[in-house]
Amino acid sequence: MKLGEGVEQAVHSVVMLAQLSPDGLLSAAALAEFHGVRASYLLKHLQALSGAGILRTQPGPKGGYRLARPVGNISLLDIVLAVEGPEPAFRCLEIRQRGPNPLPGKPLRPCAINSAMQRAEQAYRAELRRVTIADILTDVGRDADASAIAARSCAFLAIHERKQEAGRLR
């Protein structure tokens, strides 16, 4: 299974936004600059996160993004599904019914391959559902490089964080 690089960008952006002050915002351009990615590509993922109810936006030249819900209520699965969509990684096309000697009639149950892939998908999604942004923030705090990571984020936020305008957040 391969997830697009947008998932990594989205997760790191959500973690960064989790560090904002209560009335803080970050622009897409600032998030892109911090992570060294193209703003146009990141913007697509930020919009998907907004559409999924993970982020809130404040439009306009002084606008930006912030979390729409508490960090304990945002799972890695929420982010993956927002960016990649809900389709499973494996999609059975029932090739048993193709070729020169197809399986006659409609199969009564999924083949063993499809069943195994469905179980793997369920396990993968369960693990992503279990891990929240709060967990990620806790793990970052335990990281050997935690002080360097925190200093980098704090210094950047001190320069780029914006304050939301009353009544404009959606």
Classify domain 5-86+133-163 by CATH number: 1.10.10.10
Pick the closest to residue 164 from 58, 87, 80 (CA basis): 58
What is the predicted pLDDT for the residue at 145? 58
Looking at every residue in the chain, the average pLDDT score rounds to 85
Kindly tell me if the per-residue pLDDT of 21 is higher than 80: yes
Ranges assigned E (strand) in the chain: 24-25, 55-58, 64-67, 162-163
Most confident of 17-21, 30-34, 60-64, 130-134: 130-134
More confident residue, 88 or 163: 88
Q: Model pTM? A: 0.82
More confident residue, 153 or 37: 37
Which range (6-10, 32-36, 158-162) has the least confidence?
A: 158-162
Structural domain spans, the chain: 5-86+133-163
